[in-house]
Each structure stands twice: as structure tokens, then as C-alpha cells.
Amino acid sequence: MTRSSEGVSPALHAYIVDHSQPVDPVLAELAEETARLFPDFKGMQIGPEQGAFTTLLTQLAGARNAVEIGTFTGYSSICFARGLPGDGTLLALDISEEWTSVARKYWERAGVADKITLRIGPALESLRALPEEPQFDLAFLDADKEGYVGYWEELVPRMRAGGLLLADNTLSHGRVIDPEETSAHVQGIRDFNDHLVNDGRVEQVLLPIGDGLTLARKL
């Protein structure tokens, strides 16, 4: 992930943030604590404009039940949970107790802890343990990039018709179009993007938000 949109100067990014929904103190403090505790991983956190977008999108979609693959320290889960109604639910899947211990603290501070269920363990196993029937209105994919196609194949059958799926980092900092870039991380994103183009179960658009945010709708 990245804290600013690709191809946008720092000054223009600041302008975008200043003219979007204001970042409240809870999210601002979470971003600061994440950078302090995990400086090598702070780029995994979504940026403020992406957070505002996902909250608004959740509200517009009227989503009630959501799932997030890759929670990190909880910034994105707070944004999604805030867009859900009072009785809405968010299933958060992650493999790190350390990262999500920070998330739990900020879920409480944001007043959304009662909406979120956290499951620690390999996300693919957690998804496969769910009933094989449509149950989610909204899904957010932001975990290991090599696993995106596998997660996608478990998610789509569990999405309700008209449900929205979002996948982050689908531009991989522009490396997806660099023929000399052959890392497994980047190839995983290329494979995922190609997979979606040929998936007749959804319609999708790749948006230049953050490091690339793909938005798909299940038909």
C-alpha cells in the first residue's frame, strides 16, 4: 500500500486530503502510532483519501456484511466499519497478533469494535471455512499479492449479487507495466489483473487511487 496516489505530487496529495472528508483524531493517531511502531511497514496502511472513499462507498452501497483480507493495524477496517449500519458486521482476516493488537485498541477508540470480528490465521483457510453461499455485500482484498487470485476465487462465490469487491495495490507502484520487473509480488498482481479482465462473473474498473484500487461488482 501507499499513503499517496501514484503520480500525484506531495503538494497535490496534501490538497486532495485537505479537500476530502477530514481525518479525525483517531485515524490520525493510528497512522502516527503505526509509523512509530512499524516504520518498515507503514506503507501498508491506506491513505486518508482512500479511507474517506471506502467509508463513503460502503454507505452508498448500503452494505451490511463485509469482509477484509489483510487488516494490519486497523485503519481500513475502521473506515469500512464506519460505513456500515449499527447492526453491520465486518469479518477481519489477518495472520499477525502483533499488528492487530494495535487494531483492536483503535477499534475500541473509534467505537466500532462491536461490528468487527477478527480471525487470526491464514486467510485462505479462514475463507474456506465459511459457508459456500452468498453472504457478503462488500469485500476488501489487501494481503499477500501472490495470493490474490486464490482469495478472489474464494470470495466471489460468497458475494451477494450486486456486491462490491475492492482490491488494493493493483498498480504495484507502476511496476505492472515494467517488463524487467519479474518479482513474485508484481507477477501476482499482473496475474490477478488479467484474471479479473477475463472473469465474466463481475464488472470492474481499476482506479488510480493510492497504489491502484480495483473496484468490481458481482453480476
* Per-residue confidence band for 178, with pLDDT thresholds at 50, 70 and 90: very high
Provide the mean pLDDT of the chain. 95
User: Hey, CA dihedral for 168, 55, 119, 73, is it positive or negative?
Assistant: positive
User: Hey, CA dihedral for 177, 124, 132, 54, is it positive or negative?
Assistant: negative
Q: How far apart are CA 186 and CA 171, in angstroms?
A: 9
Q: How far apart are CA 156 and CA 188, in angstroms?
A: 18
pLDDT digits (tens, 9 = 90+) for 118-128: 999 999 999 99
Query: Is the model's pLDDT at 3 over the cut of 80?
Result: no
Q: Give me the CATH code for the 10-218 domain, please.
A: 3.40.50.150
The domain ranges of the chain are 10-218
- pLDDT attached to residue 8: 82
How many Cα atoms occupy the beta-carbon half-sphere of 98 within 13 Å?
4
pTM of the predicted model, to two decimals? 0.95
pLDDT digits (tens, 9 = 90+) for 50-85: 999 999 999 999 999 999 999 999 999 999 999 999
